[in-house]
Amino acid sequence: MASIIWVEDQLHWINKFSSILEQSDFDGKSNALLIYNFAEAAKQKIALIDKNTPPDVALLDARMNGNDQAGFSVSSALRKKWPDIPIIYLSEHSGTEIERDALEQFSAADFIAKHQNNVEQVLCWRIKAVLRQSALGQQAGSNASDSIVSGDLTIDLSSWNVYWKSVRLMNPSNRLRPLAPTPRKILRELVECSPRPLTAGQIAERIEADVDKFSYASYRQHIKTLRRAIDAAEAADGNFLKLCNKGHGIVTFGDEGAYFWNPPVTDRQ
């Protein structure tokens, strides 16, 4: 049985797709479909569902009730509770910045345009593909770890993407571009060596940089980039930067030009 959470605010789309989602053969068994018309109602329900019984897939509208961020807010609530849940967007806003953000910042498994030929078949094909890929990932995960998790920070060792509270870290100077490789490598080393601090020379050796060219100034600039990237994922409210100053997150160590990772206390369930 495929368990599907679907958040959609327009009744005519619910009428069009609900019977298909309930009756289609995704895994040889009947499906369980939970439908919510409002993002807030969906998030309240997500908070109540047993963490050990996650849905198999989430199907989200992107823009709901005039809010471009509604689908993303549900995505964040889902990923906070179940980081690996596959999320598919079924939206009228394909080819827009909404689709770009869904794929780049919120790591959607797929983005399907509602207005296309044979959309019912396309939807079923994509759900089957995502469920199959999820099953393969779970099987592989039982044999080897493919990510590093420290509090609200996740480093995907397959894609090298970095996520803070399920939001992908992007270049803080250009939110259309991903975080550069060197800061990501530095962050991994800090997390793996936590709570031991690492100097510029130690980092240079660990990431195989030119020790003679990798100065403390370079190290400090990369740390600044990482702090800003995480802060941007936290709505750019300065909260993460304040945590760093208080000894949590990416912390400055003494007068040696070193830094270390100290996971902030989080409200994870």
Distance, CA of 247 to CA of 250 (rounded, Å): 8
Asked if residue 97 is part of any domain, the answer here is yes
Mean pLDDT of 224-234: 92
Question: Which residue(s) pair with 4 in the sheet?
Answer: 33, 57
Taking only the tens place, the pLDDT of each residue in 77-100 is 998 888 889 999 999 988 888 998
Instruction: Tell me, yes or no, whether 109 and 198 share the same domain.
Output: no
Instruction: Tell me, yes or no, whether 132 and 178 share the same domain.
Output: no
Asked if residue 118 is part of any domain, the answer here is yes
- The pair phi, psi for residue 170, each rounded to 5°, is -120, 170
Whether 106 shows a pLDDT value over 60: the answer reads yes
Least confident of 105-114, 137-146, 259-268: 137-146
For position 5, what pLDDT does the model report? 94
Query: Which residues neighbour 194 within 8 Å (Cβ) at sequence distance 6 or greater?
Result: 150, 260, 261, 262, 263
Instruction: Tell me, yes or no, whether 129 and 188 share the same domain.
Output: no
Mean pLDDT of 154-167: 86
Q: What's 216's domain CATH number?
A: 1.10.10.10
Structural domain ending residue among the three candidates 97, 119, 141: 141
The single residue listed with the structure tokens 């980092």 is 203
For position 24, what pLDDT does the model report? 87
Whether 137 shows a pLDDT value over 70: the answer reads no
Structural domain ending residue among the three candidates 116, 141, 166: 141
Confidence of residue 142 (pLDDT cuts 50, 70, 90): very low
Confidence of residue 139 (pLDDT cuts 50, 70, 90): low
Least confident of 2-16, 129-143, 204-218, 245-259: 129-143
Asked if residue 18 is part of any domain, the answer here is yes
Asked if residue 192 is part of any domain, the answer here is yes
Q: For residue 47, give its domain range.
A: 3-141
Taking only the tens place, the pLDDT of each residue in 179-195 is 889 999 999 999 998 88
Whether 262 shows a pLDDT value over 70: the answer reads yes
For position 28, what pLDDT does the model report? 62
Mean pLDDT of 40-65: 91
Crossing angle between the packed helical segments 216-233 and 181-193, to the nearest 10 degrees: 90
Confidence of residue 113 (pLDDT cuts 50, 70, 90): very high
Whether 264 shows a pLDDT value over 90: the answer reads no
Instruction: Tell me, yes or no, whether 153 and 114 share the same domain.
Output: no
Closest CA to 103 of 178, 49, 31: 178
For position 266, what pLDDT does the model report? 52
Whether 269 shows a pLDDT value over 70: the answer reads no
Total domain count, the chain: 2
Asked if residue 47 is part of any domain, the answer here is yes
Instruction: Tell me, yes or no, whether 8 and 93 share the same domain.
Output: yes
Asked if residue 176 is part of any domain, the answer here is yes
